[in-house]
Amino acid sequence: MKHLEGKVALVTGATRGIGRGIAIGLGEAGATVYVTGRSFNNSSSNEVSGSLQETQSAIEEVGGVGIPVQVDHSDDQQVRSLFDRIQDEQNGQLDLLVNNAYSGVQALKDAYGQPFWDCEPSLWDASNNVGLRSHYVASIFAARMMTKRQQGLICTISSWGSMSYIFNTAYGAGKAACDRLAADMAVELKPHNVASVSIWPGIVGTELFSHFADEMNQTNVTEQKSSFFSDRYNWETPLLTGRAIAALACESNLMRRTGRVQIVAELAKQYNLVDENGVGVARRRHRPASLRSLRFVVPAALPILRKYSWLIPDIKVPWSLLLLNALSSPKI
C-alpha cells in the first residue's frame, strides 16, 4: 500500500547497502525519494559498487519517485545546496530524513582485529566524519525545513555497536554518539512536532559486508572456526530497514517514539513486515529475530541450535541484562 504517497524523503548515502534498501522501501510505500551518493553512474567493474542511477531505477520499479543528487557529504556546501534544491523543488516540504551516509566500511575492514593503538589516528575520521558528523550537518538543514511546517521525522542509522563492542573503538564511540545525537535532537525538536529516532538494523547482508564475510569464511575454514557474522546467521537484507522506516513514518502517534532507539527486527514484528526472500531466516518466517531476543541470543551462543532457532521463544532480553553482558558478548 502506498502509505507515503505525497511524502518527500531524503536518504543519504543510497548508492548501495542499507541506504539503497531504505530508498527502495520508501519507494514501495509511494514516497518521492531524494537519494545522495558520490557515484552517479556505475562505471566501475567493482562487484560491490553501485550508483545513484541504479538506485533511482530500483525506486521507480517499485512505484516510487527517485531523484538522484550527487553529493559528497564531507563537503558542507554540497549538503547545503542539496537542501536548497529540495526547498525549491518541493515548496519547502521534507517529511523524512534518513541519515545513512557512511564512508568507514573499508577502514573497518582494513583495521579489523587490530587494537586502536596499532591503527593510525585517521581511523577516527574515516569512521566518524561521513557518518556521525555528516548526520549532524544534514539534520541541521532538515530541521530548518521541518520545524517551519511543524512536522517531520529524522532517522539516524546507528548500530548495536553503540552498546557492545563491534569492529573497533572508533566505530563504537561513533555509534554511541549517533544514539545521543538522535536523543538530544528529539528534545529540541519535540516542541515543533518533529520526531528524531535512532535506528538499529541487525546483521545486514550489504554488498560490502557480504564480500567481507566471504573473506572471513576463507580464513575461518583454514583456522577451523566460525562466527554468526561469517556464516550469515540471522542476517537481514537492507530492504527490511526500508520497510520498517516506511511503516514507522506512517504512525499516527509518532511522537511517542521520539528520542528512542528503534530496532528494525522489532519494528518488523510490530508492523508484521517480512524481509526480502527470507534471507538469513527460516523461509516460512521471512523475518529475522531481534539481536536481543532469546531466538537470536541462545543459538548465537550454541551454534548447534541455529537450524532450530524457530523453536526458541521470541522473548526480549531486558536492556539491563544486555548492558551487564555487553563486555562479554560475542564479537561479530
Domains detected in the chain: 8-290 (3.40.50.720)
Q: What's the confidence (pLDDT) of residue 213? A: 64
CA angle 317, 331, 166 (to 5 degrees): 90
Q: For 221-230, 250-259, 301-310, which range has the lowest pLDDT when averaged over its residues?
A: 221-230
C-alpha–C-alpha distance, residues 74 and 321, integer Å: 38
CA 171 to chain centre: 14
Looking up cell 544534514 gives 138
Could you list the beta-strand ranges (E) of 21-131.
Answer: 32-37, 65-70, 96-99
CA angle 29, 186, 108 (to 5 degrees): 75
pTM of the model: 0.88
Q: What's the confidence (pLDDT) of residue 269? A: 93
Looking up cell 535506528 gives 199
C-alpha–C-alpha distance, residues 304 and 228, integer Å: 12
Q: Taken in order 12, 17, 22, 27, is the CA torsion positive or negative?
A: positive
As annotated, the active-site residues are 171
197 burial level (CB within 10 Å; 0-12, 13-18, 19+): buried
Q: pLDDT (tens digit, 9 = 90+) per residue, 258-313?
A: 999 999 999 999 999 988 764 444 444 578 888 888 888 788 778 888 777 878 88
